[in-house]
A and B are shown apart, each in its own frame.
Chain A
Amino acid sequence: MHQLLNIKDNLQIDITPLVGSISWRSNINELGQQLTFDIAFNDDRYFPMNPVDLGSLIILNNQDEILRAIVVSEQRNGRGRIEYSCFDYAFYLNKSKAVYQFNKVTGKKAIETILNDFNVPIGNIVSIPTVINKIYREQAVSEIIKDILDIAKKATGMKYRMEMRQGKLYIEKQEDLMIKGTFQLASNIQPYDITNALSSPSRKRSIEEMKNSVQVVFNNHVIEDKRKEELIQQYGLLQEVTSIDKNDKAKARNLADKILKDLGKVFEENSVEIMGDDQVRAGRTMKIKEPITGMIGKYLINDVNHTVKNGIHKMQLGLGVI
């Protein structure tokens, strides 16, 4: 059973009995997760006082902690239910702006500096060796972090995934987290794989973003040229050019390979509705087998919207190809 705890002034109150529906979402392009819930309200004398207030810490549990978030907005309508919207600690990174000048520091060091300045606890940050030389002016802190990861991605082709877990920030390589979701129809029935009960699948395929030839340029000379002939034959030539600086020159081939692997494919934008599993989060990957629309294989979760209502946990997934 999902459970919501409200923590304010060192007092933890289980507000689950008052909560109507809970939903939480994450998106691969956003740092942090959003949690919304509504709470029953009545002015009759047997009805408990509503303990939730702006700035309260809310913890969503289902045996283990799923997420913790701060209440950032409240909506009251007459005697009706009160709706709350909460963000995890990444809210402070999204809403704060800062000025930074990085001079020959590694990506990892730069990000650690920012997080320490904003008192965001660090869970784990993988090595990001790319050297950052950049000045950031009046930019949202989360944008700065994202930009650093972008620079690293451009230089090495490595993709990173940012997540808040138990109030700590983790930056890990994207391919590291494959999940296999399950659901139970009843507590005495064995769990099923969630992909067995898909509903409303939709699948969009396109070659608009495809690049099947990659050139790496250094000092106005093409030093590396990689192609996927099979895709060029089938769809025509779609070329990407990227320039590289002196430090990364040795990695040109590696970079071209990674870009080609990343962009040399038919892109998909898929969505499914599926039974809920708490592990499912944007940036993670899962296997889907759905022969009707032809979604078969490993997919990247671009966004996910969980809802728990009436004891039933469901989610809507947006899926992209890896």
Chain B
Amino acid sequence: MDVLLSVNNREQFFTLPVLPKEFKIQSGMKNETVDTISQGEIKLIGMKNLRSITLQSFFPNHDYSFLRDGECKGQYKAWDYVNMIEEWKNRRVPIRMIISDMPDHLGNMACSIENFEYGQQDGTGDIYYTLTLSEFKFIQLEQKEV
């Protein structure tokens, strides 16, 4: 499995050099409960929430044997990854996340960066991070002449 992050049709991209040890995708519904007088609570099914995912891992400062940076190998240092994500935030555009082992319609999604937390925590110079992404929906308005 690999996780690939890219921006603007792969203008810039990288695979996560160290995979998170786990990830979970949040995929909820916005349902409502109404209190009726004759039947108590009833459930009203609302619409889908946007899906979201939190990736937690580190950007390596050394050439570890377990790195998975594939075609980007040796191209980026630890702070380069942080820089890239910071720049993407400045651009205010959605990014794309592809998780290679998942079915395409689930694992390939346009995302917005919701939060990015990073820092060093031991003497290795590795940068530990938590990146929270949320699904981004493209909107197309249908129009016709009348």
Contacts from A to B (Cβ < 8 Å): 7, 10-15, 17-18, 44-48, 51, 185-186, 196-201, 273, 275, 290, 292, 310-312, 314
7 nearest interchain CB pairs? A13-B143, A310-B46, A311-B47, A14-B142, A12-B146, A197-B36, A17-B139
Cα of A268 to Cα of B38 in the assembled complex, Å: 21
B46 touches A312 (CB 8 A): yes
Contact code string B41-77 (vs A, CB < 8 Å = 1, else 0): 0111111000000000000000000000000000000
Query: Which residues on B sit within 8 Å (CB–CB) of A7?
Result: 146
| A199 in contact with B34 given A44-B92, A44-B93 (CB within 8 Å) | yes
B139 touches A18 (CB 8 A): yes
Interface size class of B (residues with CB under 8 A): 20 to 34
A48 touches B145 (CB 8 A): no
Cα of A18 to Cα of B137 in the assembled complex, Å: 11
Contacts from B to A (Cβ < 8 Å): 30, 32, 34-39, 42-47, 92-94, 136, 138-146
B47 touches A310 (CB 8 A): yes
Can you give 29 contacting A-B residue pairs, CB < 8 Å? Answer: A10-B145, A11-B143, A11-B144, A11-B146, A12-B144, A13-B142, A13-B143, A14-B141, A15-B141, A18-B141, A46-B93, A46-B94, A46-B138, A48-B139, A48-B140, A185-B43, A185-B44, A186-B45, A196-B36, A196-B38, A197-B34, A198-B36, A201-B37, A292-B38, A310-B30, A310-B32, A310-B46, A311-B47, A312-B32
A185 touches B92 (CB 8 A): no
Cα of A46 to Cα of B138 in the assembled complex, Å: 7
B92 touches A311 (CB 8 A): no
Interface of B is mostly: loop
A11 touches B145 (CB 8 A): yes
Cα of A198 to Cα of B47 in the assembled complex, Å: 22
Query: Which residues on A sit within 8 Å (CB–CB) of B35?
Result: 199-200
Q: A45-B92, A200-B35, A310-B32 provided; 15 other pairs, C-beta below 8 A?
A: A10-B145, A13-B142, A13-B143, A14-B142, A44-B92, A47-B139, A48-B141, A185-B44, A196-B36, A197-B34, A197-B38, A198-B37, A198-B38, A199-B36, A292-B38
B141 touches A17 (CB 8 A): yes
Cα of A23 to Cα of B44 in the assembled complex, Å: 18
Min Cβ gap B131→A in Å is 19
Min Cβ gap B62→A in Å is 37
Query: Which residues on B sit within 8 Å (CB–CB) of A44?
Result: 92-93
Cα of A207 to Cα of B145 in the assembled complex, Å: 57
Interface of A is mostly: mixed
Query: Which residues on A sit within 8 Å (CB–CB) of B92?
Result: 44-45
Cα of A181 to Cα of B83 in the assembled complex, Å: 58
| A197 in contact with B145 given A44-B93, A46-B138, A48-B140 (CB within 8 Å) | no
A290 touches B37 (CB 8 A): yes
Closest B residue to A15 by CB, please name it.
B141
Min Cβ gap A111→B in Å is 30
Name, among B35, B37, B136, the residue most crowded by chain A CB atoms within 10 Å (CB to CB): B37
A14 touches B143 (CB 8 A): yes
Min Cβ gap A158→B in Å is 36
Min Cβ gap B27→A in Å is 16
Cα of A198 to Cα of B145 in the assembled complex, Å: 42
Name, among A11, A197, A292, the residue most crowded by chain B CB atoms within 10 Å (CB to CB): A197
Query: Which residues on A sit within 8 Å (CB–CB) of B145?
Result: 10-12
Cα of A217 to Cα of B16 in the assembled complex, Å: 93
Cα of A12 to Cα of B141 in the assembled complex, Å: 10
Query: Which residues on A sit within 8 Å (CB–CB) of B34?
Result: 197, 199, 273, 275, 314
Q: Which listed residue (B39, B46, B138) contacts A196, Cβ 8 A? A: B39
A13 touches B141 (CB 8 A): yes
| A51 in contact with B141 given A44-B93, A185-B45, A310-B47 (CB within 8 Å) | yes
Min Cβ gap A58→B in Å is 13
Min Cβ gap B11→A in Å is 14
Min Cβ gap A303→B in Å is 21
Min Cβ gap B32→A in Å is 6
Cα of A18 to Cα of B142 in the assembled complex, Å: 11
Cα of A36 to Cα of B137 in the assembled complex, Å: 25
Min Cβ gap B16→A in Å is 25
| A312 in contact with B37 given A17-B141, A44-B92, A44-B93 (CB within 8 Å) | no
